[in-house]
Amino acid sequence: MSRAKLQVFEQFAELARVLGHAHRLELLEYVAQGERSVERLAQLSGLSVANASQHLKQLRLGGFVQARRDGKRVLYGLADGPILSLLAALRTYAERNRPEVGKIVSDYFHRLDELEPVSRKELVHRLKAGTVVVLDVRPQDEFVLGHLPGAVNIPVDELKRRLADIPKNQEIVAYCRGPYCVFSFEAVALLRRHGYKVRRLQDGYPEWRAAGLPVGSS
């Protein structure tokens, strides 16, 4: 094997190894909800502070989380980059390849209170009541072809620089292509980091339309 290739595989392996520990995956999930101190993360995951700190260090060296000091605490948050895509790929693979655990996985992912996605039915209800802003984070060309009524389109890659367009005082529901599309996960993660109250639609535009619910186009 060429030296370059070996080096590249070594880098990949190093990153995979960082994800190769249950505690680190758990910490990563807590961190993905928003910034937290080491002590809080240790508490949430039932680790000693020193142990949590060491795991967080590895996550940081792997580029999965970033740390910033706030007074005498250090707050860890999710780093930039396609981290959630990577985790989604791992999850998808695991669900398909380990069917005996697939059920547990989906149960768990759909259980989390804060992450619990909004059902179509619930969204219909809240659209009528007008208590929600619907955010379409797909690319513009897909939005043009059809979208949820009254939805605002901000593609997920533009989200960061268009935060001003999003009202901070209302609850947001983000959606994208479907249940296995990561865009809305990323959008929710980003917006939560910036203090928005946001949840994701359980599935995406195709399912909405297939259910015979009204759609808009422009």
Name the site residues for DNA (rule: CB under 7 A).
17, 20-21, 23, 37-40, 47-51, 53-58, 67, 69, 71-75
Joined together, the tokens standing for residue 10 give 């070594």
Contact 134, 152 (CB under 8 A): yes
Q: Looking at 49-57, 65-73, 81-89, 191-199, which segment touches its own copies (CB under 8 A)?
A: 81-89
Q: Looking at 12-20, 34-42, 121-129, 153-161, which segment touches its own copies (CB under 8 A)?
A: 12-20
Binding status of residue 49 toward its own copies by CB under 8 A: no
Nearer to its own copies among residue 52 and residue 172 (C-beta): 52
Show the site string, 153-192: x = touches its own copies by CB under 8 A, - = not.
---------------------------xxx----------
How many Å apart are CA 138 and CA 154, to the nearest integer? 7
Element (H, E) at 18: helix 3-18
How many Å apart are CA 6 and CA 24, to the nearest integer? 26
How many Å apart are CA 179 and CA 84, to the nearest integer? 14
Count CB-CB contacts under 10 A for residue 20: 10
How many Å apart are CA 13 and CA 4, to the nearest integer? 14
Among 67, 74, 88, 215, binds its own copies (CB under 8 A): 88
Nearer to its own copies among residue 172 and residue 182 (C-beta): 182
Binding status of residue 83 toward its own copies by CB under 8 A: yes
Is there a catalytic annotation at residue 181? no
How many Å apart are CA 103 and CA 100, to the nearest integer? 7
Nearer to DNA among residue 71 and residue 99 (C-beta): 71
Strand partners, 171: 132
Instruction: Choose the catalytic residue: 176, 181, 182, 189.
Output: 176
Largest CA distance in the chain: 63
Judged by the rule CB under 8 A, the positions of this chain that interact with its own copies are 1-17, 19-26, 45-46, 62-63, 79, 81-83, 85-86, 88-94, 96-98, 100-101, 104-105, 107-109, 180-182
- Give catalytic residues, as residue numbers: 176
